[in-house]
Chain A
Amino acid sequence: MNFDFSDDQKQLRDQARKFLTEKCSPKAVRVVLDGKAPYDKELWKGLAEMGFLGVAIPEEFGGAGAGHLELCVIAEEMGRANAPVPFSSTVYLAAEALLIAGSDAQRKKWLPAIASGEAIGTLALFEGKGNPSPKNVKLTAANGVLNGVKKPVADGAIADFAVVAARNGSSGRDSDISLFLVDLKAGGVEVKSLTNLDPTRGQAEITFEDTKAEPLGAAGEGWSILTQVLDRAAVLCAFEQVGGSDRALEMGRDYALDRIAFGRQIGSFQAVKHMLADMYVSATLARSNSYYGAWALSTNAAELPEAAAAARISATQAFQHCAKNNIQVHGGMGFTWEFDCHMYYRRANAMALGLGSLSYWEDQLIDRMRKKNAA
């Protein structure tokens, strides 16, 4: 058994960590946090040059052709650094949708552009409140044009193209839903930036009005493709969340060692130690569940749906737990804008919702476990 990353993959992780430590300091993240830039363009360019954007994109489409284990490794580092770039929407959602369902022409057009950093992509799924479900897709597709409003769309204001879930039937079945590819720079859409919990990753409302769109994947297959995309993204996001959990835990630990109160390091008080120990427990459980997800993702195993849901739940809980208690360890200073704690708190809570909320994934996990037991 080798339930671990390879030495090459660990080397890639070290390389990514070194790169991000240099290019993505908390100071750099704050430029986006403070609204001075919509995302870190220099970092995005650098990630492309390092080959990180296309690490799992096949060579024939301009990527490094490495694989999804390598992408998991990079994802963890992106989460650790709280990188203010549209990595998850472009790489986990848009690129994965193209890899699963794109025509040769669509892949040739967009995947090399993603790998080189020229194109930012996203998934336009949600329409207001509610979790991923065919019945929540109201935006219509007819005669090659889309009509409706998507909100929130991650990185929608900076995206060049979007994969859009649309309705072209009303049978009440999953086959009512199809996916479309929309070039957002070609006009026909109205994009409005939304304020959101985590300003280091934007959210937008996109209005489609007779917007030209080309089908992505077969008609009526939209929901099945989306389910696969969300599962794959769940594993990749889980690695970002694991990276973020570890960083929040380290920040708390370092502060507990540094800060003196009542004449001693606060990390010597059991109330503080036990809080940090519990954060370590959450982060460890999340990491192990995510490793299983990585294995399932990289081998396209039949276990992927269950593994993805477990990784998603565990990593979401861990990041929220570590991020909130990191602030608690810091006391009043943790609640200031000046300290970095809130950046992880914001990211943790935004990520907890991005692919559908915890309660949605809990429901998914139980469904999938029952299916496995029945089979």
Chain B
Amino acid sequence: MNFDDTPQEAEFRATARAWIGANAPRQYEQELRKSSLGRTVLKNADILEVAKAWQKKKADAGWACLHWPKEYGGRGASPIERVIWSQEEGPFGQLSRMFIIGHGMCGPTMMAFAREEHKRTYLPPLASGEKVWCQLFSEPAGGSDVAGLRTRAEKDGDDWIINGQKIWTSGAHYSDYGILLTRTDPTVPKHKGLTMFFLDMKSPGVEVRPIKQASGAFDFNEVYFTNVRIPDHQRLGEVGDGWNVSLTTLMNERSAIGAAVSTGFPELFEYCSSLMLDDGPAIEDRAVRSKLANWAVKASGLKYTSMRAISALSKGERPGPENSIGKLVAGSMIQDVATYALDLQGASGVVSGEDAELAGRFQAMLLRAPGTRVEGGTDEIMRNIIAERVLGLPGDIRVDKDVPFNKIPTKGR
């Protein structure tokens, strides 16, 4: 048991570190280090532009999408090298946030199902950040129940005509392309009538409407499709096989190993270390210490769980299912951490923004936190996944499983 790099890994780390040292946008380092959930902002620059410039610079030097094959814009690096890169990239990794969906989900889906000429055309600019991609799965009638989606695709000659509505589409407002899951046959049970496509987001008939979140920010969108034409050669997988194709996408979403999940703990520990309460330093208060200790072991538990997965990668093994707990634990934890940080501030905790304690760091965290427990699979869906795929418990009884889709009752959003 050790934390040492192999000679090969050490060499890779040194090369990566040297390149990052010479090329990273250092002028933003302090601001990126201070960012936390709900608050990643650069005062004097547009973060999207800074992110795109950094991504392009990386791509030109062969440091983008490390694990992708070289011909598609990657580096052909091993999984462990990808992890080492992200460790070395440190705070600058925050700039990759706008590319996560494209690189983590759309790219792998394209790689598995697109035609060769499409892969060569679309993947390199996706890797370099010149083109941004989004993922169009969720709908008002199908969130956790993705297979309940209603957006229709109907064949018209060599094209498909798309009509319907997507929702919760991260980054659709700045995306160039998207992968789109549609219903091509409503007369068969819901999982069987789906088909996947990719499309140009500038296609006529695509309308993006940003959603104002409960936090006041705009990360997600509604996307409306009115008679949008997609050529059949942009279909991914067989007609009716969209559910299986989407599983490839979702698996990739959940296998982002080594990706640091924010728990809010380092921020809270730092805060409590200097905070004075009425009776003395917060860090010497028994109740505060007990709370901190409980969160500390969750944060360290997640960190070392991730290291166990990385070790498996380093040995060329497939990591076990342990990593599936990350989002579930971190999501509710960061919400609790933020709530507690405000509790420690007393009545003044109500003030948010620049006039607040730490310029409103924990207030922003609190308001953004509910989203982390919903996006990319709700806490409840994550528990189902652990129960079914890790512990081998039976799936829930699905009353709509064998019913033709157009006979399933629906309501709510």
Cβ of A366 and Cβ of B387 under 8 Å apart? Answer: no
B391 near A276 with CB under 8 A, answer yes
Q: Report whether over half of chain A's contact residues are helix, strand or loop; otherwise say mixed.
A: helix
B377-400 CB contacts (< 8 Å) to partner A: 380, 382-384, 386-388, 390-397
- Does A365 reach chain B (CB closer than 8 Å)? yes
In the complex, which of the residues B310, B314, B322 has the most CB atoms of chain A within 10 Å of its own CB atom? B322
> Quick one: which of B258-285 are within 8 Å of A by CB?
269, 273, 283
Contact A284 B1 (CB under 8 A): no
Give min CB distance, B194 to chain A, whole Å: 25
Task: Check if B296 is an interface residue, CB within 8 A of chain A.
Answer: yes
- Spot the interface stretch: B113-121, B123-131, B175-183, B298-306: B298-306
In the assembled complex, the Cα of A274 lies from the Cα of B300 at a distance in Å of 23
Complex CA gap A264/B399 in Å reads 14
B2 contacts the other chain (CB 8 A): yes
Contact A359 B290 (CB under 8 A): yes
B4 at the interface (CB under 8 A from A): yes
A286 CB-CB contact with B under 8 Å: yes
The one of B298, B303, B387 in contact with A273, judged by C-beta atoms closer than 8 angstroms, is B387
Q: Is the CB of A288 within 8 A of B304?
A: yes
B329 touches A281 (CB 8 A): yes
Tell me the bound Cα distance from A160 to B383 in angstroms.
49
Which residues from B are CB-within-8-Å of A337?
A: none
Q: Which of A34-42, A141-149, A289-297 lies at the interface?
A: A289-297
**B307 x A284 contact (CB < 8 A):** no
A310 touches B297 (CB 8 A): yes
Contact with A along B194-218 (1 / 0, CB 8 A): 0000000000000000000000000
Q: Are B396 and A268 in contact (CB under 8 A)?
A: yes
Contact: B397 with A366, CB < 8 Å?
Answer: no
A277 x B298 contact (CB < 8 A): no
Q: Across the interface, do B383 and A273 meet the contact criterion of CB distance under 8 Å? A: yes
Q: How many Å lie between the Cα of A264 and that of B395 in the bound state?
A: 11
A272-B394 Cα distance, complex, nearest whole Å: 11
Contacts of B35 in A (CB 8 A): none
Q: Is the CB of B393 within 8 A of A276?
A: yes
B44 at the interface (CB under 8 A from A): no
Partner of A369, one of B296, B329, B392: B296
A291's contact among B1, B9, B387, B394, by CB below 8 Å, is which?
A: B1
B289/A362 in contact, CB under 8 A: yes
Q: Which of A3, A257, A294, A313 contacts B293 (CB 8 A)?
A: A313
B289 touches which of A3, A267, A366 (Cβ 8 Å): A366
B303, B305, B312, B396: which has the most chain A beta carbons within 10 Å? B305
State whether B304 touches A1 (Cβ < 8 A): no
Indicate if the CB atoms of B393 and A267 lie closer than 8 Å. yes
Shortest Cβ distance from B390 into A: residue:
A280
A-B pairs, top 6 by smallest CB distance, nearest first, are: A285-B301, A362-B293, A273-B387, A288-B304, A277-B383, A277-B386
Question: Can you name 24 A-B residue pairings with CB atoms under 8 Å?
Answer: A1-B2, A1-B3, A2-B1, A2-B311, A3-B1, A4-B311, A6-B1, A253-B391, A270-B380, A270-B396, A272-B393, A273-B384, A277-B386, A280-B387, A281-B329, A285-B325, A288-B307, A294-B1, A359-B290, A362-B290, A365-B293, A366-B289, A366-B296, A373-B273
